[in-house]
Amino acid sequence: MKITFILPGWTTSPVGGFKVVYEYSSKLAERGHFVSIVHPLDLDNSHGLIWRSCIHIRRYAASLLRGKWFNFHSSVNFLVTPSLEEKYVPDADYVVATAWRTAEWVDDYSIKKGSKYYFVQHYETWSGDKHNIDRTLKLKLRKIVISQWLRSVVEELGEMAEWVPNGIDSNTFTIQTPIEDRDMYSLGMLYHESAWKGFDDGLKALTLVKAKYPKVSLKLFGVFPKRRNLPDWVTYTRNPSLVNLVALYNSMSIFVHTSLVEGWGLTPAEAMACGCAVVATDSQGILDYAEHEKNALISPPRSPEKLAENIISLIENRDRRVALAKAGHERIRQFTWDKSVNRFEEALAGAQDQIRQNCLRKC
């Protein structure tokens, strides 16, 4: 099959939604499919004339992206284009929008670009007007969603969606430091500048925990520059390599997830795979793999006090922390990329079956 993924831009730093698309692209390529990934330099085409003449810049950007932070399968066709105009998009069997603003473009493409899909990884009200986002979810594109929560969002708008959860690479995200041997006061969290990621709530919660247990230390990681005036008990690793990220997770006894809303939640899933006990906000998508009191502790968003209570309860009860961490590890191991790619292929094949049935009816 020829499959084209349409991304909303390009990045030289790890971004969850891009990472998932890159995983699918590489793993579908491993299975013999011809996969293209389109990265527009200008989503709105407001500078298209300039970029059309800068082929060398586009080639440089493509080489920079390909080698920066993800190990792509060698056969993936990695494209950086001036815009998402149809003439820059290869013909294929399937074309997949990956964000609400790319869905608008894909909806207008001719059938030469392939059967049209919308890979929904978030309810993107943080990046656009809700009315516009809902409108794209109602477009006649076949929807694939990464969580049951997102499926409910799509269904409430009167549409149907295939549920294909993300996978976790259990050969990469592994337990290297035994759960029982970890420092109970070593905690971790993602640093992110977007308000909906809830970092400030997490820092408030950890400050409350620190007041009760002075030995607590917090390890942050992320892609943004280090925030000024962080307390001296907080360390920050910017853009850790994959090896260093796994080592960071393994140095934590508890991972704190603080988002107000998530389509799925990659970092708490990775932390579970590495043996962390997860204390999280109910960010919706996380509920596909995190269950309160069974393999995680979950509290309402925007409630630092509740988050702090759950963290303290695990510091004070080692056996409970270890049990939750082990249960989380076993749960997340069920989410493999092989299973996810199988389901993704089935979702695409379903479109072809429907087309054949429609042709037979017309004949």
- Please report, for the chain, the start and end positions of each structural domain, with discontinuous segments joined by +: 2-167+337-362, 179-332
pLDDT attached to residue 62: 53
Mean local confidence (pLDDT), 65-69: 59
pLDDT(285) > 90: yes
**Contact yes or no for 280/296 (Cβ under 8 A):** yes
pLDDT attached to residue 351: 56
pLDDT attached to residue 358: 45
- Residues 178 and 165: their CA atoms lie apart, in Å, by 28
Contacts of 248 (CB under 8 A, 6+ apart): 188, 219, 221, 237, 240
**C-alpha distance from residue 301 to each of 120, 144, 285, 307 (Å):** 22, 26, 13, 9
- Residues 327 and 296: their CA atoms lie apart, in Å, by 8
**Contact yes or no for 297/323 (Cβ under 8 A):** no
Task: Tell me the pLDDT tens digit for each residue of 323-355.
Answer: 999 999 999 999 999 999 999 999 998 755 554
Superfamily name with CATH number, domain 2-167+337-362: Glycogen Phosphorylase B; (3.40.50.2000)
DSSP state of 47: T
Percent of the chain with pLDDT over 90: 83
pLDDT attached to residue 47: 47
Percent of the chain with pLDDT over 70: 88
Average pLDDT of every residue of the chain: 91
More confident residue, 218 or 358: 218
Tokens of 257: 């997830």
Neighbouring CB atoms inside 10 A of 355's CB total 11
pLDDT attached to residue 67: 53
Local confidence band at 72 (pLDDT 50, 70, 90 cut-offs)? confident
pLDDT attached to residue 154: 98
Contacts of 133 (CB under 8 A, 6+ apart): 100, 123, 124, 125
Tokens of 354: 């429907």
- Residues 293 and 321: their CA atoms lie apart, in Å, by 10
pLDDT attached to residue 10: 77
Residue 231 C-alpha from the chain's centroid: 29
- Residues 292 and 95: their CA atoms lie apart, in Å, by 38
pLDDT(242) > 80: yes
Tokens of 306: 């509740």
pLDDT(260) > 50: yes
pLDDT(142) > 50: yes
Superfamily name with CATH number, domain 179-332: Glycogen Phosphorylase B; (3.40.50.2000)
pLDDT attached to residue 271: 99
Domains 2-167+337-362 and 179-332 share a fold: yes
pLDDT(170) > 60: yes
Q: What are the DSSP E strand ranges found in 205-276?
A: 217-222, 234-238, 254-257
pLDDT attached to residue 59: 53
- Which one, of 235, 195, 209, 232, lies nearest residue 304 by Cα? 209
Mean local confidence (pLDDT), 313-318: 99
Task: Tell me the pLDDT tens digit for each residue of 193-218.
Answer: 999 999 999 999 999 999 999 999 99
Composition of the chain by helix, strand, coil, percent to 5: 45, 20, 35
Mean local confidence (pLDDT), 44-49: 52
Task: Tell me the pLDDT tens digit for each residue of 81-133.
Answer: 999 999 999 999 999 999 999 999 999 999 999 999 999 999 999 888 999 99
